Structure 1
């Protein structure tokens, strides 16, 4: 592709960097360093401000001649010193123990359900907030300890960490509250029902933000060139559609994005095809396509279904044999598919401000989503009547909800499931039992 006439190469933003970027909001949600770093900076700033306030308070009291008040502040600060010292010494150990136990629990959850559920922990706001406040409390206590003055004479003491000690106690109280919230959140993330619910809610959020099909009025012009991907191999995470539309309008062309969000691309993979006009140069398309190491919900309509299907497959495997978990995953797969049943799917056409189509993007169509959510689960469910009964009920419900033009893939899966059960279960009564619709599997 790179050597063909009329073709060029593009290096999406960040391909030369060590870590592939994404839009700022999504990037920060997928990282664990930013919130703790911000907490440490905030702790240092708070320590500086509180120490300055303490020095100003002592200076103001001494200026007014109220040395008794300064003496009382010194007494209170001395009493609180043991608290601050104890918290500073214990907080780091506490952080290590708590998060080590949590990571072990999440590792076990990842092995039982799916390795991709660990990203829920990384993206958890309460987890980042708790870790940030813990570290901030530790650093703040260390800085406050360094501000203690050995001079106890009210007439000559430079500063008395009275306000700083109050802030340290307040941070300890906030840490305790967040610790309770964190334990509750972590325990929820180890329970399959809450994991499945979180995945489904992320899928619904992605669907609400998704630009569904806006078909063009005319076929695309003849292709004039291909823009190939150049950079580190990875997964297409995000597309700056607005930038691509502006570039296509400037060069009088229509760009077609070849890979879908979630597709793995390697150097030389066709990335964009230009139809009509002039092929844009690579430099004009920088920061338009972002590639990372793993899929995300943003722009990726099928990622939630992929995770739910993984959980159902693992639960149906001979090593685990947890059909109830598989049924719970099928519940949410049905919910997601029912939500998308009447949405326009297929290619999405982005227009410029004059209404002319400038960008065409491929997204999963209805048969693709049905196959993604149900095909592998259907194959693994044969021989497990609890899951097959739930699948039959799900297919019946979706067939009733789907428009007339979208019933075919559902009917195909229904027929394939019936034939597979007939081959696997020789007893007619058992076959009838396994193919009887039941939204709870077997109650």
Structure 2
């Protein structure tokens, strides 16, 4: 009964790992497409309202009071329509150039923050919707000058067009501010950290379990799809497939691994093996990793920013220290929790999918190894690394301290090899939360 209750308690947390929402956030077409469709619908509605308003108007009322307004309104809407598309192209072209510069300074992976930004998509979608709406509104203007004929003047459509322009300008100001923040290293590091914490919390709720001593026995299914990085898996679909076949699926690759056709994907234990194609459709394979379901990718981005800052071309140890600050934070959050296999259960509480996740030792190696090697000759970095390791050794349970002690010893050896002077070596190994201040 406890397993059933445990399984039912975990089921709602699969929403945090659902691929559909994350795939839409990673795409840049969905929001603009919806906005353009909405603009077409809105243009039709405003046109109907305008026709309804002037259906009962007399010819004299229409000609005397609204004909002059129609000419001015048409000029305004035409100007908006022609200028908006140019505005979109210039603004976003400049933004992409700026982001490419930021990617060269920090890491190419930071561009995904721009793609995932809701504000960026809202700005782009609103500008496109304004262009489409004003283009359609122009079709509603009546160019007749015959005073004996009633004309329809789209006043409501013109007012809505002006509101959309004001909304576009407001979002543009916010968009510029957000883009400038993405060009500043501390804000990028903070964004990566916050996304990493969300992933860590989602996996913490799933309560990983210790891995079995012996590996599972059963047939192995091979990947039949295209080659690429395993971005995420559709957990619910795999659980349903396993339940239907009365089996337990052990996922072989971890999220973030590169898989090619013929790569083992799952080990099947018990029941009847499902068709490999059913497994392939539940695996999302792409050209790059995403934060969704990937416990290590946040650390990977922070490490990339740190070692890029420590390269001779950049030589910015302060940025590396800022990245170590956040790595320290993530490891402190992760330290009290067990890392093991994730066992996803069906609605009856039976284990149907076993998913490997990075262990504590692998996470510590990822967090410190490359920074230690690249920053051994930078006292600011080594002092911050020593402070981080000492803090983690104080808060980490005893069984999980050996990887940290190994990193501490390797750091001392790396500094000894890079810094020959005894006094400078002692200075480089003194713990300091600010590096050198």
TM-score of the pair, normalised by structure 2: 0.91
Q: Please, which of 75, 83, 93 is the counterpart of residue 90 of structure 1? A: 83
Equivalent in the alignment of 1:237:
231
State which drifts further: 119-128 or 51-60. 51-60
5+ residue gaps, structure 1: 1-21
Within the alignment, does 1:133 sit opposite 2:129 as a pair? no
Alpha carbon RMSD of aligned pairs, Å? Answer: 2.0
Quote the Cα distance in structure 2 between the aligned partners of 1:77 and 1:395. 72
Within the alignment, does 1:224 sit opposite 2:218 as a pair? yes
State which drifts further: 243-252 or 138-147. 243-252
Shift of 1:355: 3.1
Q: Please, which of 20, 31, 35 is the counterpart of residue 39 of structure 1? A: 35
Equivalent in the alignment of 1:301:
295
Quote the Cα distance in structure 2 between the aligned partners of 1:318 and 1:217. 42
Quote the Cα distance in structure 2 between the aligned partners of 1:115 and 1:100. 17
On the 8 A contact 1:134/1:175 being kept in 2, the answer is yes
Shift of 1:56: 1.3
Q: Deviations over 1:199-232 (max 9, x none)?
A: 0011011112225444379767851201111111
Equivalent in the alignment of 2:53:
57
Quote the Cα distance in structure 2 between the aligned partners of 1:98 and 1:215. 50
DSSP-derived class of the 1:238 partner: strand
Equivalent in the alignment of 1:422:
416
Equivalent in the alignment of 1:325:
319
Quote the Cα distance in structure 2 between the aligned partners of 1:378 and 1:157. 80
State which drifts further: 308-317 or 133-142. 133-142
On the 8 A contact 2:209/2:339 being kept in 1, the answer is no
On the 8 A contact 2:211/2:341 being kept in 1, the answer is no
Q: Deviations over 1:217-259 (max 9, x none)?
A: 9767851201111111011122222332233233332211000
Q: Deviations over 1:244-299 (max 9, x none)?
A: 22332333322110000111100111100012332223355453222122111111
Quote the Cα distance in structure 1 between the aligned partners of 2:283 and 2:211. 26
Quote the Cα distance in structure 2 between the aligned partners of 1:262 and 1:166. 50
Q: Deviations over 1:10-32 (max 9, x none)?
A: xxxxxxxxxxxx93211111111
Change (3 A) 1:157 1:386: same
DSSP-derived class of the 1:343 partner: coil
Quote the Cα distance in structure 1 between the aligned partners of 2:150 and 2:187. 56
Quote the Cα distance in structure 1 between the aligned partners of 2:212 and 2:358. 21
Within the alignment, does 1:215 sit opposite 2:209 as a pair? yes
Q: Please, which of 244, 248, 251 is the counterpart of residue 242 of structure 2? A: 248
Q: Please, which of 14, 23, 30 is the counterpart of residue 27 of structure 1? A: 23
State which drifts further: 137-146 or 154-163. 154-163
Equivalent in the alignment of 1:15:
none
Quote the Cα distance in structure 2 between the aligned partners of 1:276 and 1:89. 65
DSSP-derived class of the 1:388 partner: helix
On the 8 A contact 1:260/1:361 being kept in 2, the answer is yes
Structure 2 matches for 1:376-415, cutoff 5 A?
Answer: 376-415=370-409
Q: Deviations over 1:60-97 (max 9, x none)?
A: 333xx8x4366423333333333222212211111111
On the 8 A contact 1:151/1:157 being kept in 2, the answer is no
Equivalent in the alignment of 2:369:
375
More helix by share: 2
Shift of 1:354: 3.4
Change (3 A) 1:49 1:25: same
Equivalent in the alignment of 1:170:
163
Shift of 1:391: 0.6
On the 8 A contact 2:62/2:151 being kept in 1, the answer is no
Equivalent in the alignment of 2:9:
none
DSSP-derived class of the 1:426 partner: coil
Quote the Cα distance in structure 1 between the aligned partners of 2:54 and 2:318. 66
Equivalent in the alignment of 1:347:
341
Equivalent in the alignment of 2:6:
none
Equivalent in the alignment of 2:117:
124
On the 8 A contact 1:236/1:264 being kept in 2, the answer is yes
Change (3 A) 1:370 1:311: same
User: What is the total number of aligned residue pairs between the two structures?
Assistant: 419
Equivalent in the alignment of 2:3:
none
Within the alignment, does 1:75 sit opposite 2:71 as a pair? no
Shift of 1:98: 0.8
DSSP-derived class of the 2:337 partner: coil
Equivalent in the alignment of 1:189:
182
Equivalent in the alignment of 1:144:
137
Shift of 1:408: 0.9
